[in-house]
Amino acid sequence: MTARIIDGKALSKQLREGFKTRVSQLVSQGVQPGLAVILVGDNPASRVYVGNKVKACEECGVRSFHIGLPADAPEAEVLATIARLNADPSVHGILIQLPLPEQVDPRRVLEAISVHKDVDGFHLYNVGGLVVGNTIFPPCTPYGVQLLLDTTGTDVAGKNVVVVGASNIVGKPMALMLLQREATVTVCHAKTRDLAQHTILADILIVAAGKPGLIVAQMVKQGAIVIDVGINRLRDGPNAGKIVGDVDFEGVKEKASWITPVPGGVGPMTVTMLIENTLRSAERALRMRQTDDYQEWEAPLLKGG
């Protein structure tokens, strides 16, 4: 059996078409959705990702504000930039591209973003919301994976899901989102002994470890759904420069029922869900303006955020 492909590029295209209608509706009510993207330094991969985010904004009619800060920008300058954007009503979403240079503490910076504009979903309030199944902005990559899984028509309730990788931006939130949907979730990480003994039991295998070729066919259950979140640029060998995931695609596709490619699987969905969250934020801002009552849909805690 050869797996069917879960096409993140195609789903992204379809979702972005729908976004254009939502943007028109917002604009007709006087709200132009806006996303601010902060890049500190000039990491080449980060520059590409930020460029993709700005391009996606243009495609969907979202106004983008690209703020570039030098690699040696002090943390105070980053915090001051965020404070300015928090107060700017034309900005509905703020994201700071990760990783950050070492002089800038990512936690301090992420906590400085208003929870109302935290479209990456990395603020502690949103992270905590995942634990109780009620977050304002789900983090973009796991949110995208959830939609990709939905396209297979699979109900995750009761399924064995194994998440390989326990990062704060993918593995941990992914596990919480699937637990909320009543999956039986196992999280594996760098210290996990005998990874294959876990992965072989997975009805759904989600891999976000950042290690090319980590998952090979013998580690995968026949008929499993395999989602590859890894994005690795090969440095050496005949394929140097090529982008690959964490899964040996050619081998595993002969065993899985569904599989995401890299590129063209999860990556494009990360950017698409960022636009979804930005639109959601602009729609919330409009509702707040119309009713002047935050408590109608959010906890009072948010009032000062």
Q: Which of 97, 117, 146, 248 is catalytic?
A: 97
Give the contacts of 296 (CB within 8 A, at least 6 positions apart): 287
The alpha carbon torsion through 67, 302, 75, 142 (nearest 10 deg) reads -70
Figure out which of the listed residues 5, 54, 98, 217 binds ligand LMY7XDAE, where binding follows CB under 6 A: 98
120 is annotated as an active-site residue? yes
How far apart, in whole angstroms, are the C-alpha atoms of residue 139 and residue 120?
5
- Span 147-176, contacts to ligand LMY7XDAE by CB under 6 A: 169
Question: What tokens does 71 get?
Answer: 């690699």
How far apart, in whole angstroms, are the C-alpha atoms of residue 1 and residue 224?
11
Per-residue DSSP letter, 71: T
Cβ closest to ligand LMY7XDAE, residue 220 vs residue 271: 271
242 is annotated as an active-site residue? no
Spatial CA neighbour of 263 closest among 3, 1, 2, 5: 5
Cβ closest to ligand LMY7XDAE, residue 48 vs residue 131: 48
Is residue 41 within the footprint of ligand LMY7XDAE (CB under 6 A)?
A: no
Is residue 268 within the footprint of ligand LMY7XDAE (CB under 6 A)?
A: yes
Nearest to ligand LMY7XDAE by Cβ — which residue?
267
Question: What tokens does 225 get?
Answer: 């759904």
Q: Count of residues for the chain?
A: 305
- Minimum CB distance to ligand LMY7XDAE, residue 95 (Å): 5
Figure out which of the listed residues 118, 120, 203, 298 binds ligand LMY7XDAE, where binding follows CB under 6 A: 120
- Span 126-145, contacts to ligand LMY7XDAE by CB under 6 A: 140-141
Footprint of ligand LMY7XDAE on this chain (CB under 6 A)? 48-49, 52, 95-98, 120, 140-141, 169, 231, 243, 262-264, 267-268, 270-271
Task: Report the catalytic residues.
Answer: 53, 97, 120
Please report, in range form, the residues annotated as the binding site for NADP(+).
Answer: 165-167, 231
